[in-house]
């Protein structure tokens, strides 16, 4: 009954959701003082062609090297970056990539970083730059953002570490965003030496939420995956991880921005940390794990 009520309320508000904005809708907003468009693709591709008024951002600006993996920058660094980009507390930030294989993850990870600061007026361009270019022409003008006085209201429990994960195994739902062959332990994830997944986690490959052209799947498919299939409750505390925080960020984006789940946790270091620790609790379906 609770799921039925949630689906009913969700369907009523569906058309007001801008988690994934269409090319036509974005075009109509270009020129607005409150619109900030961020191009999260490569620097070279951005300079060849990009959406008018878009500012290029490097992924390296949002993360830092910790041991042998990357994690999100601290709040102080992120606030400084956001101000340099001219993002205000009232800005509507639209992110897009040039349809590279994992470009969507760049967009969802930066959205995660912005949400961590308390900024929730966020959209990803549905279908990426190819979708926009199909209707409109690209430009070659480099845009420089103006500094802002953005004030952060950090969501302190959004990003969690390995100790948090260990303390919540078998207590809360955990979603593994990797391809199923890595989850089941039949192949090794890149840079991860253990053929396993975190104990109690379920396989939820992030790309299952998208069609082959990188546009968002129909809402019925998303509901079938996250609500009916995984039986997730919008009030549940849910932990998300993948090979890295990038992969985890897309499952977070779908649950948070599309379905309005409020109690989500992202294990930013993900398998690049957990899967390289002999002490971490893991399970493999390929063979019985000695751990």
pLDDT band at 140 (very low <50, low <70, confident <90, very high): low
Say what the pLDDT of residue 221 is.
95
The residue written with tokens 């599309």 in the block is: 258
Q: Rounded distance, CA 274 to CA 161, Å?
A: 10
Q: Is the pLDDT of residue 13 over 70?
A: no
pLDDT band at 290 (very low <50, low <70, confident <90, very high): very low
Say what the pLDDT of residue 278 is.
87
- Prediction pTM value: 0.91
Say what the pLDDT of residue 245 is.
97
Q: Is the pLDDT of residue 118 over 70?
A: yes
Angle between helices 103-116 and 245-253 (to 10 degrees): 70
Q: Rounded distance, CA 202 to CA 177, Å?
A: 9
pLDDT band at 144 (very low <50, low <70, confident <90, very high): low
* pLDDT, tens only, 147-157: 899 999 999 89
Say what the pLDDT of residue 26 is.
95
Q: Which domains does the chain have, with CATH numbers?
A: 17-135 (3.40.250.10), 159-283 (3.40.250.10)
Q: Rounded distance, CA 219 to CA 258, Å?
A: 9
Q: Is the pLDDT of residue 9 over 50?
A: no
pLDDT band at 287 (very low <50, low <70, confident <90, very high): very low
Q: Rounded distance, CA 126 to CA 254, Å?
A: 13
């Amino acid at each position: 009954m609770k799921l039925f009520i949630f689906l009913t309320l969700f369907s009523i508000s569906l058309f007001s959701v801008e988690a994934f904005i269409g090319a036509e809708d974005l075009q109509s907003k270009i020129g607005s003082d409150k619109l900030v468009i961020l191009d999260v693709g490569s620097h070279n591709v951005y300079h060849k062609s990009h959406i008018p008024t878009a500012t290029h951002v490097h992924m390296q600006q949002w993360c830092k090297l910790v041991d042998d993996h990357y994690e999100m920058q601290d709040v102080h660094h992120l606030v400084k970056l956001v101000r340099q980009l001219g993002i205000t507390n009232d800005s509507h930030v639209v992110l897009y990539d040039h349809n590279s294989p994992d470009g969507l993850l760049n967009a969802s990870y930066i959205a995660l970083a912005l949400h961590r600061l308390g900024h929730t007026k966020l959209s990803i361009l549905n279908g990426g730059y190819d979708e926009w270019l199909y209707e409109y022409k690209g430009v070659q003008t480099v845009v420089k953002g103006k500094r802002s006085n953005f004030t952060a209201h950090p969501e302190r429990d959004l990003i969690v570490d390995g100790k948090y994960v260990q303390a919540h195994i078998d207590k809360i739902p955990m979603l593994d965003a990797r391809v199923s062959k890595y989850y089941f332990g039949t192949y090794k994830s890149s840079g991860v030496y253990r053929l396993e997944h975190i104990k109690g986690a379920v396989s939820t490959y992030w790309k299952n939420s998208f069609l082959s052209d990188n546009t968002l799947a129909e809402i019925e498919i998303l509901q079938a995956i996250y609500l009916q299939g995984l039986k997730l409750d919008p009030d549940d505390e849910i932990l998300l991880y993948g090979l890295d925080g990038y992969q985890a960020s897309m499952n977070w984006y779908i649950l948070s921005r599309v379905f309005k789940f409020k109690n989500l946790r992202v294990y930013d270091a993900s398998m690049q940390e957990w899967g390289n620790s002999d002490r971490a609790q893991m399970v493999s379906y390929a063979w019985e794990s000695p751990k």
